[in-house]
Structure 1
Amino acid sequence: MAKKRDRIVNTQPFISDQRLVASVPYLKGDSPSLLDEFVPKITEGFIISRFNSVQASVPDDSTDHPLDKVEVLQDELDCFPYLCRFQYERTGMYIINTMEPLLQSYTESGLLQFADNSELVLIEAKLSWIVHIVAAIVKIKQCSGCSVETQEVLDAELSARVLRLVNVMDSGLHRQRYGEISRQRLDRAILTFFQNFRKSYVGDQAMHSSKLYARLKELLGLHDHLVLLNVIVGKIATNLKCYTESEEVIGHTLSLFLELASG
């Protein structure tokens, strides 16, 4: 029973912290707020706790895993963007520095003929959490904390890492892992990212996001939302081809396709 409780993502403290962050513009006086120091530590602590839970649950054959409940997880992470964007430069760099070694390890393992499955399961689980967190962040734009331009650049930096991951996932050794539960969870995290990114930065919203696409062009050569849309469509096609036996991934992929078709 204790193990099951450890799997529950308790976001009630996030709600209280979000209210504190929202109150900052109304604070009077010149004294620095302790929120500047402690809010980033809260977000960093949450990521560390998710990684620790992953480490403790490998190998994982659970039928009650938080990464399997994508819609519930995103609802629980609704407060997270407000905390991240409060000190976004610091928090964004923390997420990037956390994700980079995982992405590097995952890229290198894809080039091998054989790899340690338990290690790949662990990396995929950690990447799933990071991608869900990035998805939650890009879902909500322009919170207080730093300029709109700075936020768009940081959104681009985080999104670029996720998009690099998409390229790695469907190449090399990783093409043999579509049947693995940890891999399916990672793909559902990617689909969630695409859903949220599309709402914020594709279509009519794109004309107001010049800084984001300028940075994505520098990092990945993706210069506008139409090119990004091609990436999303390509991922949809890959999933429909490769996930013939995963009802969850196929259903999520079709939901994304329907959203694109609906405009």
Structure 2
Amino acid sequence: MTDTHHDPEQPLISHLVELRQRLLHSVFLVLVIFLALFYFANDLYEYLSAPLTALLPEGTSMIATDVTSPFFAPFKLTLVAAIFIAIPFLLHQAWAFISPGLYQHEKRLAVPLLLSSILLFYSGIAFAYFVVFPLIFGFFTSTGPENVAMMTDISSYLNFVLKLFFAFGIVFEIPVATLLMVWSGITDVKTLASKRAYVIVGCFVVGMLLTPPDVISQSLLAGPMWLLFELGLLMARFTGRRPQAETEPEADS
């Protein structure tokens, strides 16, 4: 049963007003974080570019091919960083909006899933920065012709790393997605396990689409995807029947 303190006949306009308020709160928080970080925008960019600049040959540096890039690249980075930092609050606002319509057992499952999703997303970003970037930038900077000086444009670099951040952050959500598929009854653990070969091929296809055209970065994305899928399967073996088991007493009552 749904909670009794929430009127099931609440008018649509009330839901829209609540949604508007939560969106405004979310935008306001992102703006506050952005303003707090903007003073350090150049420092943030230096930290973000450290995995590449540490590997550049002596006497070379990153460049700006557009006259506005020295301003807009750190500006864009600060805005994205503000959104990333605000993700727990943004997801909390989304949860608070939809939670009144959930069953009690769904709420008990959703809270740990929400926390796990946040941690996994941040873990994906950290994995990309501390593990993937040093490897792929080391590969790129060491394979170019000797008579070509590598001077990366700051806007191109920012777009490249944000794409990888997003890719790894989403990919690290695979265990949660696997659990949701099993819990919702879309599939079961046995069926997913039988499709393992297709999943592995799919991981490399996704890695090819989301990363630069080199084997190293593709493998660094496909490998964790497969391991996270196996982790999701392992977790689903122990918890896959939990929602059904908890709904049975409610159905009997």
Scaled by the length of structure 2, the TM-score of the pair is 0.34
Q: Could you say which structure has the larger radius of gyration?
A: 2
Higher relative contact order (CA 8 A, sep 6+): 2
